[in-house]
Amino acid sequence: MPEYDSLEKMRVDRWLWSARLYKTRNMASEACKKNWVKLNDQPLKASKEIRKGDIISIKLGPLQKVVKVENLSQKRLSAPLAQNLLSDLTTPEAYEKAKEHGKRLTLRITNKKGTGRPTKKQRRDLEDFLYPD
């Protein structure tokens, strides 16, 4: 059994990163800024401190994932150990709905050859289309 930190509370962005729900802390902070992370249906700031037993709702693309905080760890753990930091309360129906949404979303956005990367406006429009609030 791995040793978890004996913390009573920690920042939500750091926990999301250590539990491997987001690849970087910056991505976890951005998700908080976009109101994709909620506690009791209230948006969380990245600096908000969470405790064991809190139930957090996280928007990951078309999936609205609900997790319960089981343990806290300051360090980023390996994937198998990180699963012990949370318990997944998401319903199987939510996973199926997200899977179906992914199948329907076969729209392919392309620029003309040689035009390069999308502009900032195009990227924001694309993000709003793919991840509506």
In a domain, 86, yes or no: yes
- The torsion defined by the Cα of 126, 34, 79 and 81, in degrees rounded to 10, comes to -170
pLDDT of 110: 64
41-81 pLDDT, tens per residue? 899 999 999 999 999 999 988 889 999 999 998 888 899 99
Query: Does residue 111 sit within a domain?
Result: yes
pLDDT over 50 at 39, yes or no? yes
Q: Does 50 fall in a domain?
A: yes
Considering only the C-alpha atoms of the chain, give the largest distance between any 2 of them, rounded to a whole number of Å.
55
Range of the domain at 40: 9-130
Looking at the domain assignment, is residue 2 inside a domain?
no
Please tell me the predicted confidence (pLDDT) of residue 21.
92
- Three-class HEC string of 52-113: CCCEEEEEECCEEEEEEECCCCCCCCCHHHHHHHEEECCCHHHHHHHHHHHHHCCCCCCCCC
Tell me, yes or no, whether 1 lies in a domain. no
Q: How many domains does the chain have?
A: 1
pLDDT digits (tens, 9 = 90+) for 87-114: 999 999 999 988 887 766 555 666 676 6
What's the CATH number where 70 sits?
Answer: 3.10.290.10
In a domain, 74, yes or no: yes
The answer as to whether 3 is a domain residue is: no
